Structure 1
Amino acid sequence: MCLALAAALLGCSSGSGPGTGGAPAGPSETAVTSDGPAAKPQVTFADRLPIARYSYTADEAAVIESAQQVLTKRCLRTFGITYKPVKPEDDTSPSADRRYGLSSASEAARLGYHPDIGPLPAGPDLPQDALRVFYGNRGAEPGTAEKVVYKGREVPSNGCFGHSVAQLAKKYDAPGAAEVARVISTQSYKDSLTDPSVMDAFRNWSACMRSSGFRYTTPLEPANNKEFQGKDISAKEKETARADVRCKENTDLLDIWFKAESALQKAEIDKNSKTLQELLTAHRQKTEAARRIVAEG
């Protein structure tokens, strides 16, 4: 189960580079579009949970990413490289996260259990030798990579982009507090699986699925069905996915699960309020610093 919220809590959303070639977004991060006038609004859970208050907002992440690009541009300029950051495309489509499995009827009808990855972001428009300055030895094992030298000057080991990300992180990130928030986010999900109300809702969902001809004990099982993990999306996968969402709606499973996990998170947030306040302060300071960098250009 992909927990995108945990990444946002750690500030990972503001540390991803353009076209870095990393793994595509996980299920909780997929962007989907409505499939017609009858489609319900996409359901999001991760950004409504109590711990989400301690993650960056979309606007904060955007300004931090912009600041990283400004710092990267400055670094590249010291090597005589002109760089024009790629402007990110606005994402106006609503997203359905999969923290609690498939939740969108339109998504089930179009994609079954397959994620809608969407187009990968464009990489930096730079010559090949300049890309080594941009990325450095990213991905190489520590202590094994050769130094990158460009026109007689040594390049930061993580490249201008990685160096720029690290600059902001070193000054403003609060890794200890972020780890507390991450643990709350991941542990609350695990604990919710054994909450009596959620387990009862699972049983009701399973009975509903059986009435439609599908035998699954929990809603976590269908997405892990190897039959549905190939490249193609079969009619059986879509049919199962539609029944899955319909049974979630008929049993109020999503609402029950969300309320149970929210209660678990609130209890842990109360225990760690001082540490989490430090995280909010760090986020505010980093965002303010990012805005100054962007303003300076």
Structure 2
Amino acid sequence: MCLALAAALLGCSSGGGSGEGDGPAVASESPAVSVGEPTERLVSYTSRLPIAQFSYTEAENTAIDSAQQLLTQHCMNAYGIAYEPMEPDRQTSESADRRYGVSSLNEAARYGYHPNPATLRDDQVDIPKEALPVFYGKRGAPQGSGPDVVYKGKKVPDAGCFGQSVGKLSQYDDPDGAAVASRIATGSFQESLDDPAVKDVFREWSSCMRKAGFHYASPNEPLNKSEFQGGEVISAQERKTAVADVRCKETTGLLNVWFNAESAIQRAHIQANAKALQGLRAAHREKAAEARRILAEG
């Protein structure tokens, strides 16, 4: 799939912490909370950050993904293999933005710190097992190394049909510009943690959480707590913590304060790297235009 630069905007954080009142996981117990309106308004922070303007648009992503799938289908058909292109990977509006951790009461009450299942994509390739080498080629081997992959007497591209299709469009990529944008997107998150306004609102959030019975210094601590990571079981304690987390963010205005602080940091970096970022944007447009041309030709 085409990897949008917007993916790089997902903030990552580190930190651990122990919340007071932590108990054993209880999968069957539901938190005694009111989870907000069914039509809860979900706010996107990642897509509104200044660096997002240098990502692919959703329409461009769709065009590029679709073109890659079409080229893959043509290649697979050349080997006599029926291949139905996967649906383009689209940004979902069914889940709240989590750049700054959980931000939806409804999701916190249902999933705690686990991801909303609606955001998980199944990229299982629906082709016969014996035909997988045609799709993947020398999967896992450096380009050009190892024996050739042959299917019914016909050599398969080293990168496989899908890799070859991705490569056809990757010639329009701007790795240097993408590296600059990615560095800004990830670095601004870390820099924002040292912003005075963010530190102040973290203290307010922490105080709010203490009143609810949870001791955490910052929203990153429960988000990265090992007990709340992985596995299919979501404990009642995790849900209760997540709900308190979101409510305290709402009470203190933490999400907007954090977003505004990071936005200011990004604007300064964007101004300092204007030439590289404009080149990246031009490369994106060129790649999307080529993808639309491929789709038009069928």
Q: Please report the TM-score for the alignment, with normalisation by the length of structure 1.
A: 0.84
Residue 47 of structure 1 aligns to a residue in which SS?
A: helix
Report the counterpart of residue 173 of structure 1 in structure 2.
173
| Structure 1 gap segments, 5+ residues each | 1-6, 13-24, 28-34
Report the counterpart of residue 225 of structure 2 in structure 1.
225
Residue 86 of structure 1 aligns to a residue in which SS?
A: coil
Q: Which has the higher contact order (CA 8 A, sep 6+)?
A: 2
- Please show how residues 70-109 of structure 1 align to structure 2 within 5 Å: 70-88=70-88, 93-109=93-109
Identity score, percent: 54
- Please show how residues 156-235 of structure 1 align to structure 2 within 5 Å: 156-170=157-171, 172-229=172-229, 230-235=231-236
How far, CA to CA, are the matches of 1:36 and 1:210 in structure 2?
Answer: 22
Do the aligned partners of 1:26 and 1:115 also contact (CA within 8 Å) in 2?
A: no
How far, CA to CA, are the matches of 2:105 and 2:6 in structure 1?
Answer: 31
Report the counterpart of residue 22 of structure 1 in structure 2.
none
Report the counterpart of residue 27 of structure 2 in structure 1.
none
From the superposition, tell whether residues 61 and 175 of structure 1 become closer, same or farther in structure 2 (CA, over 3 Å). same
From the superposition, tell whether residues 252 and 234 of structure 1 become closer, same or farther in structure 2 (CA, over 3 Å). same
From the superposition, tell whether residues 37 and 206 of structure 1 become closer, same or farther in structure 2 (CA, over 3 Å). closer
Deviation for aligned residue 1:156: 1.6
Deviation for aligned residue 1:104: 0.8
Report the counterpart of residue 272 of structure 1 in structure 2.
273
Residue 100 of structure 1 aligns to a residue in which SS?
A: coil
Given residue 262 of structure 1, which amino acid in structure 2 is its aligned partner?
S
Whether 1:123 and 2:124 are equivalent positions in the alignment is: yes
> Structure 1, residues 202-231: CA drift from partner, whole Å, max 9, x if none?
111001100111000010000222222243
How far, CA to CA, are the matches of 2:217 and 2:92 in structure 1?
Answer: 36
Given residue 194 of structure 2, which amino acid in structure 1 is its aligned partner?
T
> Structure 1, residues 15-66: CA drift from partner, whole Å, max 9, x if none?
xxxxxxxxxx999xxxxxxx77455212211100000000011111011011
How far, CA to CA, are the matches of 2:296 and 2:140 in structure 1?
Answer: 32
How far, CA to CA, are the matches of 1:276 and 1:129 in structure 2?
Answer: 44
**Aligned CA-pair RMSD:** 2.6
Report the counterpart of residue 288 of structure 2 in structure 1.
287
- Please show how residues 246-265 of structure 1 align to structure 2 within 5 Å: 246-265=247-266
| Structure 2 gap segments, 5+ residues each | 13-34
Report the counterpart of residue 63 of structure 1 in structure 2.
63
Deviation for aligned residue 1:74: 2.1
Deviation for aligned residue 1:8: 2.3
- Please show how residues 19-38 of structure 1 align to structure 2 within 5 Å: 37-38=37-38
Given residue 153 of structure 2, which amino acid in structure 1 is its aligned partner?
G
